A and B are shown apart, each in its own frame.
Chain A
Amino acid sequence: EPEVTQTPSHQVTQMGQEVILRCVPISNHLYFYWYRQILGQKVEFLVSFYNNEISEKSEIFDDQFSVERPDGSNFTLKIRSTKLEDSAMYFCASSGIGARAGELFFGEGSRLTVL
């Protein structure tokens, strides 16, 4: 069964450092997403991406965040200067179109720890 893969599974970084989280969505999907989940809290939407541009972003997704689909297969989330409060699980997801657009397939997540 096709799946979304994410790397790294866990990253520890110092405050102020740049971090790139990588995702390989399901190959025939057209919508791509990043979500995050702070420990013990809800899964929160960060950003969606379609047709090589951001479709929607939340208030969390400020200028420190960016997304890119550099080579037609990878989908990356970059945090330019990490803060302590960026510590969370980051989930990538992808979906198809039409009635299946709400059927998101999630990766296992990348745990980011900012010290």
Chain B
Amino acid sequence: DAKTTQPNSMESNEEEPVHLPCNHSTISGTDYIHWYRQLPSQGPEYVIHGLTSNVNNRMASLAIAEDRKSSTLILHRATLRDAAVYYCILHNSGGYQKVTFGTGTKLQVIP
């Protein structure tokens, strides 16, 4: 499996934007970049995914570098409810493949 690298933890002030980085230098051409998050005491939750172009949805934006070796999940205004562990995961949809979780980035939101 292609590997991703994320900081162990980050802090953000409430109502400020948060940029969560992810490096994936060994990404293959058919790997999608997926982001999940896990709120305390809950199951993982899908956030967003993309292949080459930047993506926006109601939860977040995903900015993908031109060479696809890195990406950034952007939360436009952090709320206390966004405090969670955020996982950046590569997933190849060319065939079936499980989603493998790493240790992710623990985001702390400061009121």
Contacts and interface: CB of A to CB of B under 8 A. Distances in A.
Contacts of B51: 99
Nearest to A33: B98
A80 to B, nearest CB: 23
Contacts, number: 60
Interface residue range, chain B: 20 to 34
B68 interface: no
Nearest to A106: B43
Contacts of A100: 93
Interface stretch (B10-18, B20-28, B69-77, B99-107): B99-107
B32 A102 contact: yes
A108 B98 contact: no
Interface of B: 32, 34, 36, 38, 42-46, 49, 51, 89, 91, 93, 96-103
Interface of A: 31, 33, 35, 42-45, 48, 50, 55-56, 89, 91, 93, 98-109
